Amino acid sequence: MTVQEVDLGSFVQEWEQWHSAKEGVLAGPHGFLAITSLRWLSAEPTRFEDAPGAWSSTADGVVVELDEGEELTVDGTAVHGRYDFGVIAERASVQAGWGDAVIEVAKRGGHDIVRPRHPDSVLRTAFTQTPAYAPDPRWVRTGRFLPFAEPRPVTVGAAVEGLEHVYDSPGQVEFDLDGMPHRLTAFNGKAPGSLMVLFTDKTSGVTTYAANRSLQVGPPDGEGRVTVDFNRAGNLPCAYTDLATCPLPPTENRLPVAVEAGEKIPLERGGQL
């Protein structure tokens, strides 16, 4: 795709729809901005002020012990007393209802966690918008997917110091910027066959969030071509709150150019419109 082939009005409208949908998920009643705490569970049953029950991590998974009068809703069913969530897979989550709140039970970096999500969280109710560069077709690149013979486990750091994530990488995405070829290690994306890349660039820590940005890339076509649209480089939850465990980019995903496209530093972190 070249800039000359783009209907600018439609291009901008589609970007605005993407950005609005992303903001809607982030600031939804139980989105990441609704999180009020990040609790690391241990074998000792522990109560938290923003969740019911006493929570613990056991060999058989996460357990909550609810006192008389306390109730959670799991898969539409009210539960009381002792409830066993079982072993939760890495990067998986279970949502338990508690009044108008949701208690997220999850595993991150090999650790069981609880993250209560309350609609009246100040971070959520005060949220307005995320600054971003104006969408520009020149930041859309046609690249190609370079698959590995077999998926490779890649260990990356996390927004939480000392935590690590391991992702299987199916290959790399190659594209040109400023006349130079670049390759980014890719992970599996949200949709089947799609890819996700984490990266930093020369704008990181200046106009964009310092730790990371994320970019979804559609499935390669029959010849391995992919569209890399940096206008849709988005912030991960850790750009807004310290209560996130987001992965950091692999070392090789640090671009030596300024990608002046996509989302900027959130207002909550001192960003500017």
Rounded-to-integer distance, Cα 133 and Cα 232, Å: 10
Q: What is the model's pLDDT at position 2?
A: 44
With bands split at pLDDT 50, 70 and 90, how would you rate the model's confidence at 1? very low
Is residue 160 over pLDDT 60? yes
Q: What is the model's pLDDT at position 4?
A: 46
Residue carrying the six token digits 């000392």: 162
Beta bridge partners of 188: 195
Q: What is the pTM of this model?
A: 0.94
Cα distances (angstroms) measured from residue 231 to each of 114, 156, 216:
33, 24, 11
Which residues are CB-contacts of 256 (< 8 A; sequence separation ≥ 6)? Answer: 201, 202
AA letter at 268: E
Q: What is the DSSP string of 117-151?
A: E-TT-HHHHT-----BPPP-GGGEEEEEEEEEEEE
Q: What is the model's pLDDT at position 196?
A: 98
Percent of the chain with pLDDT over 70: 98
Q: What is the model's pLDDT at position 6?
A: 75
Task: Say how many CA atoms lie within 13 Å of 78 toward its Cβ.
Answer: 5
With bands split at pLDDT 50, 70 and 90, how would you rate the model's confidence at 58? very high
With bands split at pLDDT 50, 70 and 90, how would you rate the model's confidence at 178? confident
pLDDT tens for each residue of 28-57: 999 999 999 999 999 999 999 999 999 999
Give buried/exposed letters for 197-210 (b at 16+ CB in 10 A, else e). bbbbbebbeebbbe
Q: What is the model's pLDDT at position 135?
A: 98
Cα distances (angstroms) measured from residue 130 to each of 23, 113, 193:
8, 27, 29
With H, G, I as helix, E, B as strand and everything else as coil, classify residue 166. Answer: strand
Residue carrying the six token digits 């980014």: 184
With H, G, I as helix, E, B as strand and everything else as coil, classify residue 93. Answer: strand
> Which H or E run includes 225?
strand 225-229
pLDDT tens for each residue of 192-203: 999 999 999 999
Sheet strands side by side (includes 180-188): 213-217, 195-199, 180-188, 164-177, 140-157, 225-229
pLDDT tens for each residue of 68-123: 999 999 999 999 999 999 999 999 999 999 999 999 999 999 999 999 999 999 99
Q: Which residue has the higher pLDDT, 7 or 5?
A: 7
pLDDT tens for each residue of 219-271: 999 999 999 999 999 999 999 999 999 999 999 999 999 999 999 999 999 99
Q: What is the model's pLDDT at position 94?
A: 97
Cα distances (angstroms) measured from residue 47 to each of 36, 50, 52, 98, 243:
15, 9, 7, 15, 18
Cα distances (angstroms) measured from residue 27 to each of 3, 125, 163:
33, 8, 26
Which residues are CB-contacts of 77 (< 8 A; sequence separation ≥ 6)? Answer: none
Work out the burial of residue 181: count CB atoms within 10 Å of its CB; fewer than 13 is exposed, 13-18 middle, 19 or more buried: exposed
